Structure 1
Amino acid sequence: MSSVDTPAGAEPDSGAVLLRLHEAARVHGSGTAVPVHALNGVSLEVRVGELVAVMGPSGSGKSTLLHLAGGLDTPTSGDVVVDGVSIAGLSVKARAALRRRSVGYVFQDLNLVPALTAVENVMLPRELDGVSTRVARQEARAALTEVGVEELADRFPEEMSGGQQQRVAIARALVGPRRLVLADEPTGALDSLTGEAIMRVLRARVDAGAAGLLVTHDSQHAAWADRVVLLRDGKMAEEAPFTAGFPR
């Protein structure tokens, strides 16, 4: 499972904008004496075939940006459009359906379900979206193979190392026809060799017709991206192509 599902005979719509943020802002505690501006008027586009890395100091708004991009939160002002759909006016249920259909999310804290095996964790979003158990299981095993942990399919999270759990979480984000992959420090629990292998998987998925947004503090992993966005105090401080040390 190394490519994004497309209709028979069709090519991925290379270059199409899959994620668009327009003056997106997120204010916590609006109306209080000390509101927190987690994100302040950020505009960003991520296209099919493009991997964008987001870097910045702690508290700069990186995770908030991912939450808005993935429909886990809604902007206080501005707009966020995912795969042609504005999330601002969607209900919680509709946003969840959009995430299952279009977005693969690698959480920093993994969010694996302890009572489910690796393959069951990976197949869960596909089952929730109405895919048959048989097909969902096939897709899940293919995704586990893609990230190199197919032998863990029947293990529970507590029976895995932190790095193994991280790779299962990445498989869950890649399973099925998701076209937007969001990753919050996806290699944080991995050694350098395994981290590079995971970045190669993410890069291949993007090159096959997805779009990727990666939060990282590691310049070596940012080097896999086409562009780097620097955030500071909730604002875009800089945006530039990443040309130094590109490992491909």
Structure 2
Amino acid sequence: MSGPLLSMVAAGRVHNADGPVPVHALRGVDLSVAPGELVAVMGPSGSGKSTLLHLAGGLDTPTEGEVLLDGVSLSGLSVKARAALRRRSVGYVFQDLNLVPALTAVENVMLPRELDGVRVRQARREAEAALADVDLSDVADRFPDELSGGQQQRVAIARALVGPRRLVLADEPTGALDSITGESIMKLLRARVDSGAAALMVTHDAQHAAWADRVVFLRDGAVVER
């Protein structure tokens, strides 16, 4: 493995900092993830797991410390520049999926590549291949509301893995899937990591955490065990 793709240095996030009751969602987290490495994050509800992913992907910025993606401090970028870097380098599986209702499954997966400037025909080929990887070729032209919850989740995973994404952030990526499909998704994620990507995954499932190279435990916004 080479140097870290993602580095969090004493990273913290305080909500309502100027209010009467500041909320410390994350406290002094030091964490790095290198290419070829899958890191699982575990902890009880409210421990800061989703906040950690939001900071790692540049969806939010730390109020303490810093987050670096490929050596670039995300706090030093404009909102526009941060979004461009995130779109090029980060594949994100959101817990609430965030599929676009008006787009078909294949169009949802194509979207980030089209935003990257990839031509439509090439974007569609890549999207179809990503859907095949999650065994959804037969529903490529269906809309999200025509899919089951598990199928929607697999579309979201295909969207996160399409194209040359170097960092994959996954918030409970197997949460709506049966055990067999969940294992197949973990194999797919593991294969992407073994081919050179870095991945940070939040999970409550110890069996799925076992696929990781390291497990980080959070409690009350702080790392309590590695």
TM-score computed with the length of structure 2 as normaliser: 0.99
Question: Where in structure 2 are the equivalents of 1:198-237 lying within 5 Å?
Answer: 198-237=185-224
Amino acid at match of 2:85: L
Q: Secondary structure at the match of 2:187?
A: helix
Q: What is the SS of the residue equivalent to 1:95?
A: helix
Identity of aligned residues (%): 77
Equivalent-residue separation in structure 1 for 2:159 and 2:205 (angstroms)? 23
Amino acid in structure 2 at the alignment position of 1:173 = A
Total equivalences in the alignment: 226
Report the Cα distance in structure 1 between the residues aligned to 2:152 and 2:72, rounded to whole angstroms: 32
Counterparts of 1:72-151 in structure 2, within 5 Å, are: 72-151=59-138
**2:24 maps to what in 1?**
37
**Structure 2, gaps ≥5 residues long:** none
Amino acid corresponding to residue 204 of structure 1 in structure 2 = A
- Counterpart of 1:69, as a letter, is A
Query: 1:166 is matched with which residue?
Result: 153
The CA deviation string for residues 184-208 of structure 1, in whole angstroms up to 9 with x for no partner, is: 0000000000000000000000000
| Structure 1 counterpart SS, 2:76 | coil
1:16, distance to aligned residue in structure 2 (A): 2.6
Q: Which amino acid aligns with 1:176?
A: G
Contact conserved, 1:83 with 1:102, CA < 8 A, in 2? no
How much has 1:85 moved relative to structure 2?
1.5
Shift >3 Å, 4+ stretches: none
* Offset from partner CA, 1:180-237 (integer Å, 9 cap, x none): 0000000000000000000000000000000000000000000000000000000000
Q: What is the root-mean-square deviation in Å for CA atoms of aligned residues? A: 0.7
Aligned to 1:182, which of 169, 174, 177?
Answer: 169
**8 A Cα contact 1:107 1:184, kept in partner:** yes
Contiguous gaps of at least 5 residues in structure 1: 1-13, 240-248
Deviations 1:7-27 (CA, angstroms, capped at 9, x unpaired): xxxxxxx33311000000000
Per mean C-alpha deviation after superposition, the further-off stretch among 105-114 and 138-147 is 138-147
What does 1:13-52 align with in structure 2 at a 5 Å threshold?
14-52=1-39
Q: Secondary structure at the match of 1:187?
A: coil
Amino acid at match of 1:142: A
Q: In 2, distance between residues paired with 1:235 and 1:227?
A: 16
- Name the SS of the counterpart of 1:145 in structure 2: helix
Q: Residues 31-57 of structure 1, C-alpha deviation per residue, up to 9 Å, x if partnerless?
A: 111000000000000011000000000
What is the CA-CA distance between 1:90 and the residue it aligns to?
1.1
The one-letter code of the counterpart of 1:60 is S
Give the structure with the higher percent helix: 2
In structure 2, which of residues 40, 45, 48 is the aligned counterpart of residue 53 of structure 1?
40
2:62 partner letter: P
Which one-letter code corresponds to 1:214 in the other structure? M
2:225 aligned counterpart, secondary structure: strand
